[in-house]
Chains A and B, each alone.
Chain A
Amino acid sequence: MSHDAGGDTTGEIAGDVAASLGRRPLPLPDNVSAPYWEAAARGEVLYQECPACGYRQFYPRALCTACAAEPEWRPASGRGTVHTFTVIRQNWAEPFRDLAPYVVAVVELEEGPRMMTNVTGCAPEDVHIGMPVEAYTIAVEDGLGVPFWRPAPTD
């Protein structure tokens, strides 16, 4: 299995993510989710917006959870902030056992919806709530990439 990097995945911890990705539990794309994982394989992160009521949501569903209309895909800017997080120091399951400690976070997209992820590219102690982060993706195979987040560059 190849682990081609989509976007910039330089940095030691991001490299570790790529190396372990093929051994992690991975999504089984379905009718609704396939475009999300395909987009991630191209380096894009998508969320959904309702054309009827404007509600934005993640995870992707076949209906808008506010009004039941059919949602549409929108590309995310890839900018967000850490809404909450933890440092996993004990996970008996491979390959995570050997990756600990690592950060599991819920990131709030600039556009509003939130998603679970790992924040990589910095020491776990440096992650904090409100921290600006940016998305990157790693392609696992054709049609399947996985988004991750890392500290946003300071300008």
Chain B
Amino acid sequence: MDPRTPVIVGIGLSDGPVATHLDAVQHHVVALRRALEDSGVRKADIDGYCCAGAGKSTSDPDDLAPMAEYLGIEHRWLDGTMVGGSSFEFFAQHAAAAIRDGQCDTVLMTYGSDLLSRQGRTLGSKGHFGRSSRVPGPAQYEAPYGNVLIGAYAMAAQRHMHEYGTTPEQLAEIAVAVREHAALNPDALYRDPITVDDVVSSRMIADPLHKLDCCVISDGGGAVIMTTAERARDLRQPPAFVLGTGGAQTHWQISEMPDFTATGAAAAGAEAFRQARVTPADIDTVQLYDSFTITVLLLLEDLGFCPKGEGGRFVASGALRLGGKLPLNTDGGGLSCTHPGMRGIFLLIEAVRQLRGQAGPAQVPGASLALACGSGGWLSCIGTTILGRDAP
């Protein structure tokens, strides 16, 4: 094994899902401190930094360089790729290459958001633009029509149902499975069990998506530290090896989505599997971006866990529940646990917990391969990370 093989050695969550005592920047700080403690990495050893959406709902610092300054990171490698919630899987891709290449040795990734405490639960259905505003750029072609975030995903779900006969009940099973896992996590926002019937009889928000097809809005933050396998030997935790990464974009705005039933996960997944030299059948658990139930369904198909169009039947089989063949979002996911606006970093953190055997009652027995897949924008930018317990 190459001593510069990239590994994740530290993870940290800030307080959540409701944390009125923290602003966005403090979420970065708390998560960073916990990741340092978790890993045993000294702060001064961090020489690479990436973050996206820093302090988005507070005034300052509001982007990458101010955030690096605030945290006091003297970096020689920096990445601020901002592609929405999957930015963190893109960071994993870029950081792994930079570490392998020797551009830096220890990369810190942070995220923090006080979305719930500052803005309430309006992200999904408040529109993007103010009343009577004038909208520049490509968004001007969508702005007059009153679409909302949920509506974008609803149009994908509608088309998938039309082409493949996918049913609301099949989508609902995704929310039910994730809630079952949230029940095992004391820090999840919603923990009471739900049924398929609960989901399909919850209020319709944007047809065909119901309230319980939608993720929660929460506060939260996370930090991840990646370094070389060689350095990991002196650290506290068993390393999670970064075996494969991929990223792909098919569009940005929803009206530009070339195929409403398919995402860039096909390309991003194929690349990650190629690098990792494993197949979907080898994966023990998936942490998938569950902004909405349809997001999970599309990612499962595009990543190759089932054929295109078979996602509904696949999820209805119970595969996604603990004890099933592919346990999903074992922390309770965005659908029931935490979604502060961009969820990608939490996918990596939960994947690492599984590979370390630290997932408590939600542990997938013997998990040795975990896949995290983030979806940013409006099913637009997909990043995939395959992590392994064992050295390649």
Interface residues of chain A, those whose CB is within 8 Å of chain B, are 21-30, 33, 58-59, 83-96, 99, 102, 104-106, 114-118, 124, 129, 146
The answer on a CB contact under 8 Å between B126 and A59 is no
Chain A CB within 8 A of B3 CB: no
Measured in the bound complex, the distance between the Cα atoms of B255 and A117 in whole Å is: 9
A-B contact pairs, 10 of them (CB 8 A): A24-B144, A28-B135, A58-B141, A86-B207, A86-B208, A90-B205, A91-B126, A95-B131, A106-B260, A118-B145
Which residues from chain A contact B141 at a C-beta distance below 8 Å? 27, 33, 58-59, 115-116
- CB–CB A28/B125 < 8 A: no
Q: Are A25 and B136 in contact (CB under 8 A)?
A: no
Instruction: Report the minimum CB–CB distance from A45 to chain B (whole Å).
Output: 12
Given contacts A25-B134, A104-B147, A146-B144, 15 further A-B contacts (CB under 8 A): A23-B131, A25-B132, A26-B133, A26-B134, A27-B140, A28-B136, A28-B140, A86-B206, A87-B206, A89-B203, A91-B127, A93-B127, A106-B254, A115-B255, A124-B207
CB proximity of A48 to chain B, nearest CB, Å: 12
- Contacts A28-B136, A59-B138, A85-B155 given: A21-B255 contact, CB under 8 Å? no
A83 touches B159 (CB 8 A): yes
Beyond A84-B156, A93-B126, whether A27 also contacts B143 by CB under 8 A is yes
Interface string of B130-164 (1 = CB under 8 A from A): 11111111101111111110110011101100100
A22–B134 CA distance with the chains assembled, in angstroms: 11
Q: A88 near B144 (CB under 8 angstroms)?
A: no
CB of A59 within 8 A of CB of B256, answer yes
Of A59, A86, A115, the most chain B CB neighbours within 10 A belong to A86
Q: Given A28-B135, A92-B125, A116-B147, check contact A87 B140 (CB 8 Å).
A: no
User: Are B125 and A90 within 8 A (Cβ)?
Assistant: yes
- Nearest to B121 among chain A residues (CB) is A92
Contact of A84 among B128, B134, B137, B162 (CB under 8 A): B162
Instruction: Please give the distance in Å from A43's CB to the nearest CB on chain B.
Output: 16
If over half of A's interface residues share one DSSP class (helix, strand or loop), that class is named, otherwise mixed; here it is mixed
CB–CB A129/B162 < 8 A: yes
- Complex Cα distance, B142 from A92, in Å, reads 17
* A95 neighbours in B (Cβ, 8 Å): 131
B70 within 8 A of A: no
CB pair A86–B155 under 8 Å, yes or no, is yes
Asked if B136 and A86 sit within 8 Å, CB to CB, the answer is no
State how many angstroms separate the Cβ of A38 from the closest Cβ of chain B: 14
Asked if B132 contacts A104 (CB within 8 A), the reply is no
Which residues of chain B are within 8 angstroms of A94 by Cβ–Cβ distance? 131
The CA-CA distance from A114 to B256 in the complex, in Å, is 8
Residues of A within 8 A of B154 (CB): 86
Query: Per-residue CB proximity of B171-212 to A under 8 Å, as 1/0?
Result: 000000000000000000000000000000001111111000
Contact B146 A89, beta carbon cutoff 8 Å: no
The 9 closest A-B pairs by CB, nearest first: A27-B140, A25-B129, A86-B154, A93-B127, A96-B146, A116-B255, A28-B134, A84-B159, A25-B143
- The docked-state distance in angstroms from the alpha carbon of A64 to that of B209 is 35
**B209 contacts across to A, CB distance below 8 A:** 86
* B292 CB → nearest A CB, Å: 12
Residue B59 is within 8 A (CB to CB) of chain A in the complex: no
- Complex contacts, B155 vs chain A, CB 8 Å: 84-86, 104-106
Give the one of B134, B207, B208 with max A CB within 10 A: B207
Contact B144 A21 (CB under 8 A): yes
Inside 8 A of B260's CB, which chain A residues have their CB?
83-84, 106
Q: Once bound together, how far apart are the Cα atoms of A27 and B133, in whole Å?
A: 8
A25 in contact with B206 (CB, 8 Å): no
CA distance A22 to B148 in the complex (A): 19
Instruction: Give the CA-CA distance A105 to B207 in the complex, in Å.
Output: 11
* Neighbouring A residues of B156 by C-beta, 8 Å: 84
User: B205 and A89: CB pair below 8 A?
Assistant: yes
CA distance in complex: A106, B147 (Å): 11
Q: Choose one: B148, B158, B159; the contact of A91 (CB below 8 Å).
A: B148
Q: How far is the CA of A89 from the CA of B124 in the complex (A)?
A: 12
**A114 engages B134 (CB within 8 Å):** no
Q: How far is the CA of A81 from the CA of B236 in the complex (A)?
A: 59
A21, A93, A146, most chain B CB atoms within 10 A = A93
Residue of B nearest to A20 (CB): B146
Cβ–Cβ contact A25 & B125, under 8 A: no
